[in-house]
């Protein structure tokens, strides 16, 4: 009876202890999972919106480029009419003289029109600008001029196909919408999408009126396939499963797509919309991995619980007063904790930008970063993101403490920084808002040193705020020097703290190097610090390297210095090189 009571009591205590431990672990894992999932989705939406906005602006620039080039063609055609003595008469092939499948310049009359062949030969000089224009812009399928006198000039990928589609079917080009809309305008007009008359696909036309001496002479235009614009959109995507689509129906709204994250951006030159989508499952894949690991942990825990209880019952019956927990249970528990920390390490690594170059379509700036935690998870982080088309935000921060508490505080601080910056707040306002938020319910007394700046990619102006963080290193011209910014109190240090912004204008090829104290306070077996002096010396030895090689060289020098001593703190660095303003032709 006594042995039974001892066994029951011991089993009850064991069950309660094991269940409480398991439930607490699962609650903590689930909390990290939920925070991570929200952060991943918010970051994905921000990145997707940035892609959509950049794509919309790219298509706007492409349409504007076509309009600008068409204006040059319009002026050339006007000069032919205004100054015919300057031009020789040039023979132009008739449409029926063109071989099938040949890119060719040809003419044909409007239905019922009687044309002057001298005028046709005069207009034949248009080939001098049509041909190089088509060569410069392969996406243009056809370049044409329709005179008021009924002369049609075409430089076309399918000149032979025009014979059946236009001439034999007696289609009047002067009746097409692109002709009438341009005739009544002052400059280039972009048409709505229509099916190409030769059946090669959906097309848009850019057309403009031609005048000479104030008299209307005709319309010059060019055709672009919508598929060509979509191919250009596809080139902008940074990889992964992002999908872009140009919606050309005026005022159309994309239908809801279950399981997809979607963002849109409106064009300015036409009432069209760029739609970007990415599968939500891809964005949250790291979290799904956590879910799988949690499920496996529950199954392992259940098996472990049954095993421990069985062993405990046997041991209690044999040794009523000498019950011990099997050593194998401790080994399994350690393995479980190690597996959970591995998951946390993967989650934290996936939250930091790690694809370089991050914005291959933006040539104004180069970025490279490294984060090497001292433990499985750390409190350091860096981040960068486009706030709008011309403003880049860069952040580096160091949370006090180590391990899981610092990592959780890091997730919160990183999410708040990006969210408030993307809301349009200045660096000063972002820090003052986040400081008060982090001060609330901060029972653990954690704080964050942080440096954040906005780089204007158009002017090079860099506006920054420093909350107790290490001073950056700046290379302007020859060598690196410490950039002494205005310091403020650490974030989460004291409520209602005011912060001051520092401003500087970067010149082309200037480099800003940000780091955490894991570099300057790295020590060796003699307990000597690496220090700011050695960092300045090392970075100037590597000043001619690109920023990726520069960061790798500094990390290697720190490792050599600390050889024999364990890494005591997270090592994080972020380098930004401003390349200067890039022209539209360099960065379409």
- The residue that leads in pLDDT, 41 or 479, is 479
Percent of the chain with pLDDT over 70: 83
pLDDT over 50 (residue 588): no
Q: How far apart are CA 577 and CA 588, in angstroms?
A: 20
For the purposes of burial, counting CB atoms within 10 Å of the CB of 380, is it exposed (0-12), middle (13-18) or buried (19 or more)?
Answer: buried
Which regions of 249-390 does DSSP assign to beta strands (E)?
260-266, 273-279, 365-372, 380-388
Confidence of residue 66 (pLDDT cuts 50, 70, 90): very high
- Helix or strand or coil: residue 229? helix
pLDDT over 60 (residue 114): yes
Q: Which CATH architecture has domain 87-228?
A: 2-Layer Sandwich (3.30)
Q: What is the mean pLDDT of the chain?
A: 84
Contact indicator for 336, 305 with CB cutoff of 8 Å: no
The arithmetic mean of pLDDT across residues 532-560, rounded, is 94
Residue-wise pLDDT for 428-472, tens only, equals: 999 999 999 999 988 888 999 999 999 999 999 999 999 999 999
- What are the residue ranges spanned by the domains of the chain? 87-228, 354-578
H/E element holding 342? helix 327-351
Q: How far apart are CA 267 and CA 251, in angstroms?
A: 11
State the Rg of the chain over Cα. 34
CATH topology of domain 354-578: Phosphatase 2c; domain 1 (3.60.40)
C-alpha angle with apex 510: 505 to 513, nearest 5 degrees?
A: 100
Q: How far apart are CA 517 and CA 417, in angstroms?
A: 20
* Bridge partners, residue 467, by sequence: 450, 488
Residue-wise pLDDT for 170-203, tens only, equals: 888 888 889 999 998 989 999 888 888 777 888 9
Residue-wise pLDDT for 307-353, tens only, equals: 776 776 676 666 555 544 454 455 555 566 555 555 555 556 567 88
- Residue 530, CB half-sphere, CA atoms under 13 Å: how many? 28
């Amino acid at each position: 009876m006594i042995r039974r009571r001892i066994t029951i009591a011991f089993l009850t205590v064991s069950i309660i202890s094991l269940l409480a431990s398991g439930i607490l672990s699962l609650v903590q894992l689930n909390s990290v999972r939920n925070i991570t999932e929200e952060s991943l989705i918010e970051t994905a939406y921000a990145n997707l919106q940035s892609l959509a906005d950049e794509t919309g602006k790219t298509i706007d620039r492409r349409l504007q480029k076509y309009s600008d080039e068409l204006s040059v063609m319009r002026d050339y055609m006007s000069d032919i009419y205004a100054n015919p003595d300057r031009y020789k008469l040039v023979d132009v092939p008739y449409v029926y003289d063109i071989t099938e499948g040949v890119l060719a310049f040809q003419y044909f009359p409007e239905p019922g029109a009687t044309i002057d062949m001298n005028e046709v030969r005069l207009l034949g000089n248009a080939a001098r600008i049509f041909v190089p224009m088509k060569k410069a812009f392969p996406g243009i399928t056809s370049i044409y001029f329709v005179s008021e006198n009924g002369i049609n000039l075409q430089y076309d990928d399918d000149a032979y196909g025009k014979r059946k589609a236009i001439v034999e079917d007696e289609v009047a080009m002067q009746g097409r919408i692109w002709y009438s809309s341009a005739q009544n305008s002052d400059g280039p007009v972009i048409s709505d999408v229509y099916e190409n008359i030769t059946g090669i696909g959906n097309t848009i036309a850019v057309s403009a009126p031609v005048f000479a001496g104030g008299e209307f002479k005709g319309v010059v235009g060019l055709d672009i396939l919508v598929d060509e614009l979509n191919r250009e959109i596809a080139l902008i995507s940074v990889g992964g499963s992002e999908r872009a689509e140009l919606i050309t129906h005026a005022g159309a709204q994309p239908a809801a797509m279950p399981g997809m994250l979607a963002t849109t951006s409106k064009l300015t030159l036409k009432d069209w919309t760029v739609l970007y989508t990415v599968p939500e499952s891809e964005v949250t894949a790291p979290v799904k991995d956590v879910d799988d690991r949690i499920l496996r942990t529950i199954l392992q825990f259940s098996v472990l619980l049954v095993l421990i209880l069985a062993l405990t019952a046997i041991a209690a019956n044999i040794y009523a007063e000498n019950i011990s927990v099997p050593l194998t249970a401790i080994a399994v528990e350690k393995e479980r904790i190690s597996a959970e920390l591995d998951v946390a390490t993967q989650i934290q690594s996936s939250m930091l930008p790690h694809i370089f170059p991050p914005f291959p379509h933006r040539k104004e700036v180069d970025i490279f970063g490294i984060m090497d935690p001292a433990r499985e998870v750390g409190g350091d982080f860096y981040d960068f993101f486009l706030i709008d088309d011309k403003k880049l935000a860069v952040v580096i921060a160091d949370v006090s403490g180590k391990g899981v508490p610092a990592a959780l505080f890091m997730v919160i601080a990183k999410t708040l920084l990006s969210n408030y910056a993307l809301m349009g707040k200045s660096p000063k306002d972002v820090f003052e808002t986040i400081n008060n938020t982090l001060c609330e319910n901060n029972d653990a007394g954690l704080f964050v040193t942080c440096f954040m700046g906005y780089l204007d990619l158009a002017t090079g102006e860099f506006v920054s705020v420093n909350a107790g963080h290490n001073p950056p290193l700046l290379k302007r011209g020859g060598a690196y020097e410490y950039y002494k910014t205005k310091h403020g109190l650490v974030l989460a240090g004291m409520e209602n703290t005011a912060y001051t912004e520092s401003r500087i204008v970067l010149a082309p090829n200037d480099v800003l190097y940000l780091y955490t104290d894991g570099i300057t306070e790295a020590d060796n077996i003699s307990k000597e610090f690496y220090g700011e002096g050695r960092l300045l010396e090392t970075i100037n030895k590597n000043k001619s390297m690109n920023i990726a090689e520069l960061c790798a060289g500094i990390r290697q020098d720190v490792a050599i210095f600390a050889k024999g001593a364990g890494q005591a703190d997270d090592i994080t660095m972020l380098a930004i090189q401003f390349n200067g303003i890039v022209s539209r032709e360099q960065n379409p």
